[in-house]
Chain A
């Protein structure tokens, strides 16, 4: 018979507050003695080094052959206790962690019932571990190349970190240039560094780095494989420009007769040509031809770009190209979209010309923007005398997005400063709460207060143009309650800037699915642990960085980009990784050759030997889902770690069929 040790964790009062841990430990030691339990202990924090030593000591002194720890979720500490067992010479897979915190103490309210449930859960764990067999982790090699998806500041940072460490990176970006949202900004808070000045060098570095292969105007279409061994299929959209010949001289877009409103980079505030690079400092510097807007593609004639190109780089016959790359790790940094302000009709966006979004304002005050950085009204000549900045547009609102977009308060302060500095206008910030956490932010708030910006605490109810008196005529009227005085105010303004929410990319859900990840209800990608593992995901070898995980500012985005790179580099350096050895295998003698399992495997891990008329599972391809195990009519397939014996025994255990009713509690 096995010698089993049962350890019940208090987790401070997290468990002990709702479960009588002492009773559970004593109950296991007495009632489950017939099943081999030789010791039942409880301890304040089993995961502490003292708690682990307790297990190690018992393994050595009592000769335990199995260990059950009743504590938190296995997703948190399974590895901790397995490692402890290993140190004491016990095969780590002979340790079972059952959750009595997430699944018992935190979700139930009656101590009696919770304690009874904890006993059942322990009993199930005991039965399951009895049928566990010693296993050795599987080792797989890690391909040293990395795929970074998204060429904003997060992706650039991650790519540079890895490339600088000496490893190859494929940096995929769907727009013609890397740079992302940051490239659209004028200044960055709280230091007011010029965004282009700090971003452009990084873009150039990424564009020229020998270890970085830039794949702009491209998208990842398909991902196969697993940690260390992913295969990604990337669509390189036709640029209609031969990149090996193009020098980026700019003659083509100078000569192109077709003007197009630029909805992406200029946020609809400016125009570009049908052949274009989104902005002057674009990396790479060669342009793309925007096929749906190109006169040649629409009407069959024009080719002005081709005629004038000094290096004959234009090629209208190009087609999309599919390439596959082998990588060991993937970093997703796909960023965010902004909230569509039309959805809040009462703010008048789209109806009232001088109501603009924050991204539009970024372009308006950007020196390389449509007005060369002059803050002007829609007429293109008048400087505003009074400007309102509306916070929380589409954020902190259950009708739209419940979350706080994190950057708007600081962005509002930045805008206030810029408007003040460049126009001398009166500036109003309409806010619900000012949130200026992090370094230098509160100081910036103080500075803007000193500059004389008005702060009105109240969520703007509406913006309209229905004047009620002379002062209001021809103005935008912001109607808002100044909640600090409790009075409804009507404030006539010339320009209203809506701080629109950051939202997940419109296609975030499809992207998540393509990479086998999941999104929260909001659409942000879910990290492995919100505090302790914010850049890893549930899928080993795939990391997330920047706003794909949730709204954040540039410093936090850069931190995540670097962190994700560090995680990937760790894997690359280790050269191989140990995987859970949970794999299915066929017992040849029992296999009847019915081939039912063959079609079930989505990873093509099952092959059929025609000569022997039996199926065989390729352990390297098997992912361990166990579907074939459940389907085999002959019971010839077994799955390690989750064998039929284990699950059936656990059911008995959970239903307390194994309990010795005559045992006396100790």
Chain B
């Protein structure tokens, strides 16, 4: 049985609770055990890099150190947490001075991070580690007829971690095909939704939300699938504001990909947190 250390991140406690439960339920169905990190802290998000680079790395390093103790690969559902963890590990490996500095601070909590850990995003775990083939074999309720816009967002892809394709990846689509859904092609699938700007630069963020929703809807999407709590909240909660601001009439449910995955694997809707979304997915899912 596959096992991962699991770092949910702050948003999954409440705001994105359905992402949390659907991830756990789906993993269980696929025989993957997720072990939540003991006493994890906030990863520092993006905002902390605005204040202090070193402290931001230290916050993330604490979680990495806790994860490293489990001896498992660590997996994060939030793209920002994932990116912070991944690059903190990279920088600490590349820069021994930085590592020494941070480990000095970690001593206060009896921790040390040596850099021996593989960091994965939940989407990567499902689509690449477990793989579309394996998932396809376990699908009991294929999502036939649903047109899904796979939304990768930013930080799962960027900055480039290795030499992977950052502009036109396909693993999300493959995963959606595996569960019987119909992934649509739309050119903004890796474009930023403006999530980190919705508070500070509202109008800019709203225009980004608008472009994205419009592009997905124009290409015939019934639902947008996200892999990040920030993207989900941003694309969902601000649809009304977008319509007010730009005189549009956009409305489309935004689900976590794990919710769709869970449905296909036969997990009850309630356990997946379906119904907690602000733009109801019921009409779309009723077609199933």
A and B touch in the complex (CB under 8 A): yes
Q: Out of B165, B167, B168, B215, which one reaches A466, CB within 8 Å?
A: B215
A488 interface hit (Cβ, 8 Å): no
Residues of B at the A interface (CB closer than 8 Å) are: 165, 167-168, 186-188, 211, 214-215, 218
Task: Say whether A465 contacts B167, CB under 8 Å.
Answer: no
Pairwise interchain contact B187-A464, C-beta atoms closer than 8 A: yes
Main secondary structure, interface of A, reads: loop
Chain B residue nearest to A477 (CB atoms) is B187
A345 touches B188 (CB 8 A): no
B216's closest neighbor in chain A, by CB? A466
Q: Which of A344, A348, A351, A466 contacts B188 (CB 8 A)?
A: A466
- Whether the pair B187, A345 counts as a contact (CB closer than 8 A) is no
Give the one of A344, A351, A466 with max B CB within 10 A: A466
In the complex the two chains form, is B215's CB within 8 Å of A346's CB?
no
- Is the pair A465, B187 in contact by a Cβ cutoff of 8 Å? yes
Interchain nearest-CB distance for B151 vs A (Å): 14
Q: Does A468 contact B (CB under 8 A)?
A: yes
User: Chain A contacts of B214 at CB under 8 A?
Assistant: 468
What are 20 pairs between A and B in contact, CB < 8 Å?
A344-B167, A345-B165, A345-B167, A345-B168, A346-B167, A346-B168, A348-B187, A351-B168, A464-B187, A464-B188, A465-B187, A466-B186, A466-B187, A466-B188, A466-B211, A466-B215, A466-B218, A467-B218, A468-B211, A468-B214
Of residues 449 through 497 on chain A, the ones whose CB sits less than 8 Å from some CB of chain B are: 464-468
- B218 surroundings in chain A (CB, below 8 A): 466-467
Give the Cβ gap from A397 to chain B, nearest Cβ, in Å. 14
CA of A394 to CA of B83, assembled, Å: 28
* B243 vs chain A, min Cβ distance (A): 16
Closest residue of chain B to A346 (Cβ to Cβ) is: B167
Within 8 A of B (CB), among A143-178: none
Q: What's the interface size class on A, roughly?
A: 10 to 19
Which A residue's beta carbon lies closest to that of B160?
A399
Which residues of the other chain, B, contact A346 by a CB distance below 8 angstroms?
167-168
Extra contacts besides A467-B218, A468-B214 (16): CB < 8 Å: A344-B167, A345-B165, A345-B167, A345-B168, A346-B167, A346-B168, A348-B187, A351-B168, A464-B188, A465-B187, A466-B186, A466-B188, A466-B211, A466-B215, A466-B218, A468-B211
* Distance (whole angstroms) from the CB of A85 to the closest CB of chain B: 54
A154 to B19, CA, bound (A): 63
C-alpha gap A345/B180 in the complex (Å): 26
Looking at the assembled complex, report how far the CB atom of A476 sits from the nearest CB atom of chain B, in whole angstroms.
11
- Min CB–CB distance A549 → chain B (angstroms): 29
Q: Which residues of A contact B215 (CB under 8 A)?
A: 466
User: CA A344 – CA B188 in complex, angstroms?
Assistant: 15
User: How distant is B169 from chain A, measured CB to nearest CB, in Å?
Assistant: 9
**Chain A residue at minimal CB-CB distance from B207:** A468
Query: What 1/0 flags go to A115-142 for Cβ under 8 Å of B?
Result: 0000000000000000000000000000
A27 to chain B, nearest CB (A): 43
Least CB distance, A400 to chain B, in whole angstroms? 12
Closest to A344 in B: B167
Q: Which of A308-353 contact B (CB under 8 A)?
A: 344-346, 348, 351
In the A-B complex, the 10 residue pairs with the closest CB atoms: A345-B167, A345-B168, A464-B187, A466-B215, A466-B187, A346-B167, A466-B188, A465-B187, A468-B211, A345-B165
Which A residue sits closest to B163, measured CB to CB?
A399
B211 / chain A contacts, CB cutoff of 8 Å? 466, 468
B212 nearest CB neighbor, chain A only: A466
Chain A residue nearest to B169 (CB atoms) is A345
User: B219: nearest residue on chain A (CB-CB)?
Assistant: A466
CA A44 to CA B263, docked complex, whole Å: 84
Contacts of B168 in A (CB 8 A): 345-346, 351
Residue of B nearest to A347 (CB): B167
Within 8 Å CB of A345, what residues of B? Answer: 165, 167-168
Which B residues lie within 8 Å of A351 (CB)? 168
A346 vs B191: C-alpha distance when bound (angstroms): 11
Closest approach, in angstroms, between the C-beta of A345 and any C-beta of chain B?
4
| Closest chain A CB from B258 CB (angstroms) | 26
A466: chain B residues within 8 A (beta carbon): 186-188, 211, 215, 218
Docked Cα-Cα span, A466 to B191, in Å, equals: 12
Please name all residues of chain A whose beta carbon is closer than 8 Å to the beta carbon of B188 when the two chains form the complex.
464, 466
| Complexed CA–CA distance, A344 and B218 (Å) | 25
Instruction: Determine how close the nearest CB of chain A comes to the CB of B128; give it in whole angstroms.
Output: 19
Complex alpha-carbon distance, A344 and B168, angstroms: 9
Per the bound structure, the CA–CA distance linking A412 and B214 in Å amounts to: 35
B246 to chain A, nearest CB (A): 11
A346 to B218, CA, bound (A): 20
B47 CB, nearest partner CB in chain A, Å:
25
Task: Give the residues in chain B near A348, CB-CB below 8 Å.
Answer: 187
State the Cβ distance, B224 to closest chain A Cβ, in Å: 15
Interface string of A424-466 (1 = CB under 8 A from B): 0000000000000000000000000000000000000000111
CB distance from B12 to the nearest CB of A (A): 31
- Chain B residue contacts of A467, Cβ below 8 A: 218
Best-surrounded residue of B167, B187, B211, B215 (most CB of chain A within 10 A): B187
**A465 / chain B contacts, CB cutoff of 8 Å:** 187
Query: Bound state CA distance, A465 and B185, in angstroms?
Result: 11
Q: CA A344 – CA B167 in complex, angstroms?
A: 8
Q: Once the chains are docked, how many angstroms separate the CA of A629 from the CA of B214?
A: 77
Task: Please give the distance in Å from A461's CB to the nearest CB on chain B.
Answer: 11
- How far, in Å, is A343 (CB) from chain B's closest CB? 9
Contacts of A468 in B (CB 8 A): 211, 214
Whole-angstrom distance between the alpha carbons of A345 and B189 in the complex? 13
CA distance A615 to B245 in the complex (A): 93
CA distance A467 to B186 in the complex (A): 11
Across the interface, which residues of A come within 8 angstroms of B187, CB to CB?
Answer: 348, 464-466
Q: How far is the CB of A23 from chain B (nearest CB, A)?
A: 41
- Whole-angstrom CA separation of A152 from B268 in the bound complex: 67
How far, in Å, is B204 (CB) from chain A's closest CB? 12
Distance of A345 Cα from B165 Cα, bound (Å)? 8
Give the distance in Å from the alpha carbon of A466 to the alpha carbon of B208 in the complex.
Answer: 13
Q: Which of B167, B188, B218 has the most chain A CB atoms inside 10 A of its CB? A: B167
Q: How far is A467 from B219 in the complex, measured between Cα atoms in Å?
A: 11
**Chain B: CB-nearest residue to A464:** B187
Q: In whole angstroms, how far apart are the Cα atoms of A184 and B215 in the complex? A: 39
Using a CB-CB cutoff of 8 Å, which residues 364-420 of chain A contact chain B? Answer: none
Within 8 A of B (CB), among A559-616: none
In the complex, residue of chain B having the shortest beta-carbon distance to the beta carbon of A399:
B160
CA distance A351 to B187 in the complex (A): 10
**A468–B187 Cα gap in the complex (Å)?**
12
B242 to chain A, nearest CB (A): 13
Nearest-Cβ distance from residue A583 to partner chain B, whole angstroms? 48
Please, how many angstroms separate the alpha-carbon atoms of A492 and B187 in the complex? 15
In the assembled complex, the Cα of A108 lies from the Cα of B215 at a distance in Å of: 58
Bound CA–CA A351/B165 (angstroms)? 15
- Give chain A residues whose Cβ lies under 8 Å from the Cβ of B167: 344-346
For residue A292, give the distance in angstroms from its CB to the closest CB of chain B: 29
CB distance from B207 to the nearest CB of A (A): 10
Tell me the complex Cα distance, A201–B167, Å: 46
